[in-house]
């Protein structure tokens, strides 16, 4: 398996634009997590899914953020409209049950 795959690796967008981040988890994993990492706030859990169902989205900062997992092999995190304070590295991770989480390489988002 190629591991957790995220795209794009880098995204630069203008304030107000829609941004979509993508994630392909490891095959067979039943948990998928979205994290945001900044120097100030560290690694924040935004939302996680279990068997494609969103379990806890209390970490999603605002209604501008939304996440979907239409099937076991794909998830998206969308920001609409984007703002400069959304600039961060966004990680997707997956795990099988409560075993170790495998992280993707991350998407570095810059909103100007």
State the minimum distance, in angstroms, from the CB of residue 32 to other proteins. Answer: 11
State the minimum distance, in angstroms, from the CB of residue 98 to other proteins. Answer: 6
Options 2, 62, 71, 98; binder of other proteins; rule CB under 8 A: 98
> Do residues 46 and 97 touch, judged by C-beta distance below 8 A?
no
- Assess 43 for contact with other proteins (CB under 8 A): yes
- Assess 90 for contact with other proteins (CB under 8 A): no
- Assess 105 for contact with other proteins (CB under 8 A): yes
E strands in 51-99: 53-56, 65-71, 74-79, 88-95
Count of residues that interact with other proteins, criterion CB under 8 A = 23
- CA torsion 99→34→76→103, rounded to 10°? -50
CA distance readout (Å), 70 to 28, 62, 75: 15, 21, 7
Q: Phi first, then psi: give them for residue 105, nearest 5 degrees.
A: -75, -15
- Assess 65 for contact with other proteins (CB under 8 A): no
Options 2, 53, 70, 99; binder of other proteins; rule CB under 8 A: 99
Interacting residues toward other proteins by CB under 8 A: 33, 35, 41-43, 45, 48, 55-56, 58-59, 91, 93, 95, 98-106
């Amino acid at each position: 398996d190629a591991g957790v795959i995220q795209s794009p690796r880098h995204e630069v967008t203008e304030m107000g634009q829609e941004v979509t981040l993508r994630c392909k988890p490891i095959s067979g994993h039943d948990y998928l997590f979205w994290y945001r990492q900044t120097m100030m706030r560290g690694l924040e859990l935004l939302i996680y899914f279990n068997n494609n169902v969103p379990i806890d989205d209390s970490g999603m900062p605002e209604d501008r953020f939304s996440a979907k997992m239409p099937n076991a092999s794909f998830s998206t995190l969308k920001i609409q409209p984007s703002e400069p304070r959304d600039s961060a590295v966004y990680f997707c991770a997956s795990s099988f049950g409560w075993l170790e989480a495998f992280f993707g390489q991350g998407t570095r988002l810059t909103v100007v």
